């Protein structure tokens, strides 16, 4: 018996990275999974790979920036598998060219990131919740980010959108708990997805490694397993929480790494 046996999950942004890990692990543990992604071919390929491994999944197109596309994805899930009991609002975009500091960020990009990162969470939940109520309950999991808990030099829209996802998670949890619907989030720190690995210069990875409490980087499955737990009944008394999965990067006094260097130098 799988950890999410019999559940029906819609995973947005499931064709690659963190969403692919979530979709794969959910299917491995017995859920039927709809993988919805802008990259339709990637979503279909991911579903085929899951089927080859004995799981059940189907891939479809989704533009998480458009309300009607999100509605279609929820409707498709109901037509395909009869219900929806897990919704993973995982899609999230960032843009290092246009999402800058507050004075210089591009306002159109602000709106786009708010639509794709935040409004999609509202809309996916809005369309799925009536079906979850009919099913007797469900679990909604939102992919936030540690950028939603901290300030930074750039990516103001991304950080603001993710902070809002953290609090929208609480609102959904507060409003639908009595309907047996739980809503939680996961806030990744730097996760070395294939895309992140290809785009990050080694010097940037070294900076992250220096400030992690753990001596290694996060991987997509670290988030995948957390989401699997939140989707399963193992977490049935947890709601409204956003679990920070970040290797202890943000947990300690931020100057600890420099203090360690100082103490080491003094003792030589």
Ligand X SMILES: NC(=O)c1ccc[n+]([C@@H]2O[C@H](COP(=O)([O-])OP(=O)(O)OC[C@H]3O[C@@H](n4cnc5c(N)ncnc54)[C@H](O)[C@@H]3O)[C@@H](O)[C@H]2O)c1
With binding defined as CB under 6 A, does residue 252 bind ligand X?
no
CB of 4 or CB of 35, closer to ligand X: 35
What is the token pair recorded at 8? 């029906």
Please report whether residue 90 would count as binding ligand X according to CB under 6 A: yes
State which residue, 138 or 224, has the beta carbon closest to ligand X.
Answer: 224
Q: Does residue 46 interact with ligand X by CB under 6 A?
A: no
Alpha-carbon distances, residue 75 vs 82, 84, 99, 227, 255 (angstroms): 10, 9, 33, 23, 50
Q: Is 13 in the site for ligand X (CB under 6 A)?
A: yes
Q: Which is nearer to ligand X, 41 or 102 (CB)?
A: 41
In the complex, what is the shortest distance from the CB of residue 137 to ligand X, in angstroms, rounded to a whole number?
Answer: 25
Q: Which residue from 59, 65, 224, 247 is in contact with ligand X, where contact means CB under 6 A? A: 65
- Interaction of residue 15 with ligand X, rule CB under 6 A: yes
Cα distance between residue 15 and residue 115, in whole Å: 20
Residue 145 interacts with ligand X (CB under 6 A): yes or no: yes
Residue 116 near ligand X by CB under 6 A: yes
- Catalytic machinery residues: 158
- Position with the least CB separation from ligand X: 92
Contact (CB, 8 A) for 158 and 117: yes
- The residue count for binding ligand X (CB under 6 A) is 28
Considering only residues 187 to 226 of the shown chain, the ones binding ligand X according to CB under 6 A are 188, 190-191, 193, 195-196
For position 37 contacting ligand X by CB under 6 A, the verdict is yes
Q: How far is the CB of 229 from ligand X (least distance, A)?
A: 17
**Residue 85 touching ligand X (CB under 6 A):** no
148 scored as a contact of ligand X (CB under 6 A) = no
Distance of CA 182 to the CA centre of its chain: 16
3-state secondary structure the chain: CCCCCCCEEEEECCCCHHHHHHHHHHHHCCCEEEEEECCHHHHHHHHHHHHHCCCEEEEEECCCCCHHHHHHHHHHHHHHHCCCCEEEECCCCCCCCCCCCCCCCCHHHHHHHHHHHHHHHHHHHHHHHHHHHHHCCEEEEEECCHHHCCCCCCCHHHHHHHHHHHHHHHHHHHHHHHHCEEEEEEEECCECCHHHHHHCCHHHHHHHHHHCCCCCCECHHHHHHHHHHHHCHHHCCCCCCEEEECCCCCCCCCCHHHHHHHHHHHHC
Nearer to ligand X, 135 or 189 (CB): 189
Could you tell me which stretch among 3-11, 47-55, 86-94, 169-177 binds ligand X (CB under 6 A)? 86-94
Task: Identify the residue among 19, 55, 59, 159 touching ligand X (CB under 6 A).
Answer: 19
Binding of ligand X at residue 87 (CB under 6 A)? no
Binding residues vs ligand X (CB under 6 A): 12-13, 15-19, 37-39, 42, 62-65, 90-93, 116, 143, 145, 188, 190-191, 193, 195-196
């Amino acid at each position: 018996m799988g950890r999410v046996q019999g559940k029906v999950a819609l995973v947005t942004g499931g064709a690659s990275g963190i969403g692919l890990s979530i979709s794969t692990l959910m299917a491995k543990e017995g859920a039927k999974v709809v993988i919805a992604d802008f990259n339709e071919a990637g979503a279909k390929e991911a579903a085929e790979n899951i089927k080859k491994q004995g799981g059940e999944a189907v891939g479809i197109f989704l533009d998480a920036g458009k309300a009607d596309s999100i509605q279609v994805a929820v409707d498709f899930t109901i037509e395909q598998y009869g219900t929806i009991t897990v919704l993973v609002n995982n899609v999230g975009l960032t843009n290092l060219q246009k999402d800058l500091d507050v004075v210089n960020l591009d306002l159109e990009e602000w709106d786009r990131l708010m639509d794709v990162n935040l409004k999609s969470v509202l809309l996916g939940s809005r369309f799925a919740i009536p079906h979850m109520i009919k099913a007797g309950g469900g679990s909604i999991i939102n992919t936030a980010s540690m950028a939603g808990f901290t300030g930074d030099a750039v990516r103001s829209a991304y950080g603001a959108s993710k902070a809002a996802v953290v609090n929208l998670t609480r609102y959904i949890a507060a409003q639908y708990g009595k309907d047996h619907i739980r809503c939680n989030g996961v806030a990744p720190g730097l996760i070395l997805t294939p895309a992140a690995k290809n785009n990050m210069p080694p010097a940037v990875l070294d900076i992250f490694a220096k400030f992690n409490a753990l001596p290694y980087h996060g991987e997509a499955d670290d988030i995948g397993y957390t989401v699997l737990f939140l989707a399963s009944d193992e977490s049935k008394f947890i709601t409204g929480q956003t679990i920070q999965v970040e290797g202890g990067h943000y947990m300690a006094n931020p100057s600890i790494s420099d203090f360690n260097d100082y103490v080491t130098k003094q003792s030589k």
